[in-house]
């Protein structure tokens, strides 16, 4: 049950786009389309922003998009806004019926 | 309003036990898989356990297997996490979180506010 691999930090200026990668294995990301992404602001509970690799829950901005290729998933945030500054976590279902999270990526909006 | 609310956190000595609870409201509790996710201070999220709607399927992270037990009472819309043999590395905020979909593990869309467990002598 090793954690998925994410970059520790990314940054971008308002209006720009950034992409956060999330690398796993064929036992998790590569094995299922059950990849999800979460946004967490300091002191708050995580919020689901992407499920099933590419789908956005109702109410989540269409500036957030997800994709997957092989064992790597990606989250792209376009038109960066100050409110997007937060920690982002990927997660996947696994072949042992467990879930695994990535180590998290801190997004700084410059 | 759809909600989950954890309780039961606190300070416990290494080797001790603690029982966390999660109360659900605003949705048909008996239809959904519920998970426990924890977050150590300043660290990332770690999935801990899941229990299916009927308690038929229960899974644990290797880090807690044999020490933690999850259970649910659908009649009372509640979930519990019994924790034994606690270690310093179990110190974390513990969240209960609901699967978005009744039938697939595609994401956790309802989270509680979390309850802090501190394991220290």
Q: Is A98's Cβ below 8 Å from some Cβ in B?
A: yes
Q: Is B107's Cβ below 8 Å from some Cβ in A?
A: yes
Residue A71 has pLDDT above 90, yes or no: yes
Picking from A50, A52, A101, the nearest residue to B45 by CB comes out as: A101
Give dist(CA B109, CA A49) in Å, integer. 9
Contact criterion met (CB below 8 Å) for A21 and A6: yes
DSSP 8-state secondary structure symbol assigned to residue A55: B
Interchain contact, B45 vs A50, CB within 8 Å: no
Q: What is the mean pLDDT of chain B?
A: 97
pLDDT at res. A25: 97
The percent of residues in chain A predicted with pLDDT above 70, rounded, is 100
Give dist(CA B12, CA B42) in Å, integer. 20
pLDDT at res. B4: 98
Window B:18-57, CB contacts with A under 8 Å: 35, 37, 44-47, 50, 57
Contact criterion met (CB below 8 Å) for B8 and B21: yes
Residues A78-95 pLDDT 10s: 999 999 999 999 999 999
Chain B residues within an 8 Å CB radius of A48: 100, 107-109
Picking from B46, B61, B100, the nearest residue to A48 by CB comes out as: B100
Residue B20 has pLDDT above 90, yes or no: yes
Contact criterion met (CB below 8 Å) for B71 and B80: yes
Q: Is A47's Cβ below 8 Å from some Cβ in B?
A: yes
pLDDT at res. B14: 98
Give the least confident one: A99-103, B75-79, B103-107.
B103-107
Residues A27-55 pLDDT 10s: 999 999 999 999 999 999 999 999 999 99
Residue A1 has pLDDT above 90, yes or no: no
Q: Which residue of B has its CA nearest to A6?
A: B44
Q: Give the 3-state secondary structure percentages of chain A, helix then strand then coil, rounded to 5.
A: 5, 50, 50
Give dist(CA B99, CA B20) in Å, integer. 19
Picking from B46, B109, B114, the nearest residue to A57 by CB comes out as: B109
CA angle A88, A8, B115 (to 5 degrees): 50
Give dist(CA A8, CA A104) in Å, integer. 6
Contact criterion met (CB below 8 Å) for B73 and B29: no
Contact criterion met (CB below 8 Å) for A50 and A59: no
Please state whether beta strands A86-93 and A105-109 pair in parallel, antiparallel, or not at all (unpaired). antiparallel
SS3 at position A34: coil
Q: Is A57's Cβ below 8 Å from some Cβ in B?
A: yes
Residues B46-64 pLDDT 10s: 999 999 999 999 999 999 9
pLDDT at res. B48: 98
pLDDT at res. A44: 98
Mean predicted confidence (pLDDT) in B57-73: 98
Kindly tell me the sign of the dihedral angle through the C-alpha atoms of B27, B30, B32, B33: positive
């Amino acid at each position: 049950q090793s954690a998925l691999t994410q970059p520790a930090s990314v940054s971008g200026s308002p209006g720009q786009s950034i992409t956060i990668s999330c690398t796993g294995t064929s036992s998790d990301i590569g094995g299922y389309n059950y990849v999800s992404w979460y946004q967490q602001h300091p002191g708050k509970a995580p919020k689901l922003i992407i499920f099933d690799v590419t789908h956005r829950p109702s109410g989540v901005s269409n500036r957030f998009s997800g994709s997957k290729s092989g064992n790597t998933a990606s989250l792209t945030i376009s038109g960066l806004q100050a409110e997007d500054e937060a920690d982002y976590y990927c997660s996947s279902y696994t072949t042992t019926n467990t879930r695994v999270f990535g180590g998290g990526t801190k997004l700084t909006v410059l | 309003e759809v909600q989950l609310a954890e309780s039961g956190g606190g300070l416990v000595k290494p080797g001790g036990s603690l029982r966390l609870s999660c109360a659900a409201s605003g949705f048909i509790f008996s239809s959904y898989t519920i998970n426990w996710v924890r977050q150590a201070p300043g660290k990332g999220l770690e999935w801990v356990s899941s229990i299916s709607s009927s308690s038929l399927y229960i899974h644990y992270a290797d880090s807690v297997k044999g020490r933690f037990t999850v259970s649910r009472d659908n009649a009372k819309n509640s979930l519990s996490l019994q924790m034994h043999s606690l270690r310093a590395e179990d110190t974390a905020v513990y969240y209960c979180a609901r699967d978005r979909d009744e039938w697939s593990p595609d994401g956790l869309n309802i989270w509680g506010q979390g309850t802090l467990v501190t394991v220290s002598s």
